Amino acid sequence: MSQLGIVLHVCGLWILSSLDASGKLLVLAGVPVLMVAWFRYVGHVVLMGVFVLPKRGRSLFRTQSLSRQIQRSVLMIATTLLFFHVLSMVPLAEGTAMNFMAPLLLMVLAPWLLGERPAWHRWAGVLLGFVGMLVVIRPGGQLSTEGAIWGVVTASTFALFQISTRRVAADDPLTSNFYGGLLGALVLSALLPFFWKQLDLTIWQWLLLASTGLSGFVGHWLQITAYSKTNATLLAPFNYLQIVSATTLGWLIFGQLPDAATAAGMALICCAGLGVVLVEVWQQRLRKRLAA
């Protein structure tokens, strides 16, 4: 079951990377960021309504804290919009790398927002990841200054989103996923008249726009299924394979590859996060052995 969970998790990451690439292509084609997000959330809700709601019924709406679900949903919408905006200015691989600063920022915020005190190795990971970030967004590098600034803002928002996700951990993951998509669809639908524009797209671009809801739904469903079959600490190191998928798609679709210095900064960010995960796993196994 562990191997199946890993495969599902990695497949989910690759599909979510394809969602990011689709969003970048559509924004570059002139589709407003808010319209891309609207199609993504409406498609997500429709698919959940067709495949999940009939099986779960009213239980899908049961939550221990509606206010926290709303807070999480708002941060989820903000993260989506900000990341699509970032990808309109920076390559896919670099945008994904900057977003991986979120787990490290979460460790900095955890003492105040979650009451968790990070250990020394977590702080070491934060510092190493911060150095990697400075290398990626260095002045004079290939990233625009505006794109780098928005990348940091996006990572910070994503960190708050991850904290809000922890706060609704008692709810069914599908419930949290449904509320996020539902609120996103409702909010963006209410704003639709203000940002709607007549689109002049090819058939292929319309299909790509329609596919964003499907890729978002399938990607998150695979992730949820993976975590139901495999321990989270085992899956955590494989998160960083998304850098590989983002770099591959960025090269195949956009012809963009990071330069040597940027690749080194991305590697530092990945090593920082991976190092923290490996120490956590080692400490967990050591505690089990001592207990035994």
* Three state DSSP letters for 55-106: HHHHHHHCCCCHHHHHHHHHHHHHHHHHHHHHHCCCCHHHHHHHHCCHHHHH
| Tens of pLDDT, residues 128-186 | 877 887 787 776 666 788 888 899 899 889 888 878 877 887 888 888 889 988 999 99
pLDDT at residue 287, as a whole number? 84
> Using CA atoms in the order 98, 104, 105, 111, what is the torsion angle rounded to 10 degrees?
170
Buried b (16+ CB within 10 A) or exposed e, 256-286: bebeeebbebbbbbbebbbbbbebbeeeeee
pLDDT at residue 112, as a whole number? 67
Name the pLDDT band for 229 (thresholds 50, 70, 90).
confident
| Count of helix runs (H) and strand runs (E) in the chain | 13, 0
Question: Residue 30 above 70 pLDDT?
Answer: yes
Q: How far is CA 187 from CA 8, 32, 51, 66, 146, in A?
A: 31, 16, 23, 16, 27
CB 39 within 8 A of CB 188: no
**pTM, whole model, 2 decimals?**
0.81
CB 5 within 8 A of CB 234: yes
pLDDT at residue 234, as a whole number? 64
How many other C-beta atoms are found inside a 10 Å radius of the C-beta of residue 147? 20
CB 243 within 8 A of CB 93: yes
**First-to-final CA distance of the chain:** 24
CB 187 within 8 A of CB 45: no
Contacts of 265 (CB under 8 A, 6+ apart): 97, 132, 133, 134, 135, 136, 138
d(CA 36, CA 53): 24
Question: Residue 194 above 80 pLDDT?
Answer: yes
pLDDT at residue 189, as a whole number? 93
For residue 161, how many C-alpha atoms fall within 13 Å in the half-sphere facing its CB?
22
Q: Sign of torsion, CA 92 93 98 100? A: positive
| Tens of pLDDT, residues 72-82 | 899 989 999 99
| Tens of pLDDT, residues 249-291 | 989 898 988 888 888 888 887 787 778 778 877 887 888 888 8
| Tens of pLDDT, residues 70-109 | 998 999 899 999 999 999 998 888 888 888 777 677 767 7
* CA angle in degrees (0–180, nearest 5) for 133-136-138: 100
